[in-house]
A and B are shown apart, each in its own frame.
Chain A
Amino acid sequence: MATLIVALIVGAILFGVGLYGSLSQTNLVMIMMGVELMLAGAMVNLVAFWRFLHPEAYSGQMFVLIVMTVMALEMAVGFGVGTARFRYKGSVEMEEARDLKG
């Protein structure tokens, strides 16, 4: 019980830190780092659920694998967009990116 609680608290704090980072940073790469941290928090939770609630169901680990895939994709696409943006504008500062303004 105690281990599960500890792991979940760690996950919650990681999520909170990531949320703060992704909201407060001005740089695209830094925002992505925040998202990575949030995802890490989620993964910790998933692993803890698997281990302490349903160790016989490997779907839990499967879920973690999918989240990892999402992280990798997020990195890849984020860097692709960043590269394109850098080519076009010479920076990836998000304060300057208002192209999507309606």
Chain B
Amino acid sequence: MTSVALTILGPLAAMVAILAIRYAAPALALLGVGAALIGAITTLVGVAGGARYAATLPGLPDLPLRLTATPLTAVLAAIVAVVSVFVILYAVGYMKEEGGKVRFFAQMSFFAAAMETLVLAGDWVLLLAAWEMIGLASYLLIGFWYEEDGIAEAATRAFLYTRTADLGLYLGIFILISQAGTSEIPRTLEVGGSAAFAASLLVLLAAAGKSAQTPLQGWLQAAMVGPTPVSALLHSATLVAAGAILLIRAFPLFPPGALLIMGALGGVTVVVTGLMAVANRDLKRLLAASTSSQYGFMLLALGAGSPVAALAHLTVHAAMKSALFLGSGVFQHARSSTEFSKLAGIGRERPLVFAGFAVAGLALAGVPPLAGFWSKDAVIAATYESPAAWLLFPLALVGTALTGIYVARTLRLLWKGEKQNEPVAGITWMGAGLSGLVALAVVLGFALEPLTRLVGGELPKDLLTVMLGAGVALGGLVLGWFVSVDSLLGPLRSSAEKGFRIGGGFEQFVARPALAVARATDTFDGGIHRGVLGVGRVGLGLARVSRLTDEKGIDGLIFALVRGTRSLGHRARRLQTGLVHKELLLAVTGGALILALLAIGTLAS
């Protein structure tokens, strides 16, 4: 249990320490995620040995918070920890010449801690809390350079999109808890019937929002304005992955109908965002679209009924996509841009980084024997074997081909062009992070077998699909390298580049109404404010009147009294000479008067 706690508390403590000390932030952040990695690996080893950890923490009444370490959560925690370590290692170099290190590394640590919490959460309440923390952390990090134009807007948009979808998660969780009477995840998943169907669709909505599935994919590309390590973490292990992780964990809930919807959604996303990636003119935006597409593959696998394949693809994709982002971050630093037109020829200039980038890209495309080959193969096989193969299998193949095309296109655009040698600061740290992830992208494929066995499933395999998948991937690569985008996509190109916006896109349907509602609320609020001010003004007037009566009336009376007393005192002063004998005489007279009064009183009575 200590190791589980360490996984969460390591980065959290790092965040606190960074904010408190405000010095040596990178080292502290590394230390934090290092502790998380050690905790996660220890947990994984323990879980592999058959141990199960569970802790119940005091939370809401009757809904205690739970942390659990099952094989699934332990594997996910390990993935998150590994990627966090490499990304923060890279970020040490990436942020070398940027300001705001304290803020950046504190937020990154917070991000990692929140994600570990989400992964290890054993009940919906804690999961929801972690889910929201991730949303907050991503908002802060995407808007890291908030001084620049449009960045705050992009962060707000990402936040709004994911928040809108989060409503689904809230409603779904409400349904589950009210049906099962407990917030424990495994027990709520046993709920069946129409409640399960409704809840699963709502959870799917939330996951689609976080994992940027069609039609909620728009925010992910806008979110590319954040620092590159943030993008890497966002896409591989945290924010976007949270959606897929949620679906993998909630998989037992899904009835067949919901599974079909999920698979179809994933398939559409694979194709649509794949096309967007092919058409894109910006490296990071291309990678963002590719992320949506790859998470679509995971939804495909889940829809085909194979969460193991989805988990395998999630694991491998975490390594590959973060490696790709880290490579693009080096290019971005070298040319101060991520547009392909400015990045031409960067591959020749930085052969080592380019080699790593290319290996990760080829792995993504599914070239044997790199990691992506195994997982994508498993996904394709799963769709082939599923009852809905008629729909899912072709979509998966098209997606594989599109992946090959955009990877090849990216590599071509980066390779062909003029060299310009410009030094990049912090390249050593960035190289370290990158090479670690590239190595993972190469070898992780061979670790999938034991990993899936640990989780308790088997990767679907089929010789036909292996041949077909590899063939399609290679075909896509060849197409992408030799054929230009315009001739490939034809009239689709311009709309794909714009992200297939229908009637103004999601912007029109969600963001505008939300802002309009906000504005109306603001006006309403202003009205209330004015009302309150009016009441205050009336009160002030009353106060003024009462002050007037006070000054003229009561005060006048009191002053008259004071004046009378003073003049009386003035007259009495003459009696007071200050001479002892005179005063003594007065005292004697007074005493005699008192005595006389007493005597008269006695005699009268």
Q: Which residues of A contact B (CB under 8 A)?
A: 19, 22-26, 28, 31, 94-95, 97-102
Contacts and interface: CB of A to CB of B under 8 A. Distances in A.
B578 A99 contact: yes
A99 B573 CA distance: 14
A28 B580 CA distance: 9
B588 A19 contact: yes
A98 B584 contact: no
Contacts of B580: 28, 31, 94, 97
A102 B576 contact: yes
A24 B579 CA distance: 12
Contacts of A101: 576-578
A26 B581 CA distance: 8
B569 to A, nearest CB: 8
A22 B583 CA distance: 11
A28 B581 CA distance: 10
A97 B580 CA distance: 8
23 contacts: A19-B588, A22-B584, A23-B581, A23-B584, A23-B588, A25-B581, A26-B581, A28-B580, A31-B580, A31-B581, A94-B581, A98-B577, A98-B578, A98-B579, A99-B578, A100-B576, A100-B578, A100-B583, A101-B577, A102-B572, A102-B573, A102-B576, A102-B578
B585 interface: yes
A23 B585 contact: yes
Contacts of B577: 98, 101
Dominant secondary structure at the B interface = helix
Dominant secondary structure at the A interface = loop
Most chain B beta carbons < 10 A, residue from A19, A94, A97: A94
Contacts of B576: 100-102
Nearest to B585: A23
Contacts of A99: 578
Interface string B563-589: 000000000110011111101110010
A31 B584 contact: yes
Nearest to B569: A102
Interface string B507-518: 000000000000
B292 to A, nearest CB: 97
A19 B576 CA distance: 21
B266 to A, nearest CB: 102
A38 B573 CA distance: 29
B588 A94 contact: no
A59 to B, nearest CB: 22
B578 A97 contact: yes
Contacts of B588: 19, 23
Nearest to A98: B578
Given A22-B584, A23-B585, A102-B572, 20 more contacts: A23-B581, A23-B584, A23-B588, A24-B581, A25-B581, A28-B580, A31-B580, A31-B581, A94-B579, A94-B580, A95-B579, A97-B580, A98-B578, A99-B578, A100-B576, A100-B578, A101-B577, A101-B578, A102-B573, A102-B576
A97 B579 contact: yes
A7 to B, nearest CB: 21
Q: Which 10 A-B pairs rank lowest in CB-CB distance, beginning with the nearest?
A: A101-B578, A98-B578, A102-B576, A100-B578, A94-B580, A102-B573, A23-B584, A23-B585, A23-B581, A101-B577
A97 B578 CA distance: 7
Nearest to B583: A100
B520 to A, nearest CB: 75
A28 B576 CA distance: 19
Contacts of A28: 580
Nearest to B575: A102
A13 B200 CA distance: 118
B448 to A, nearest CB: 106
Contacts of B584: 22-23, 31
A24 B578 CA distance: 16
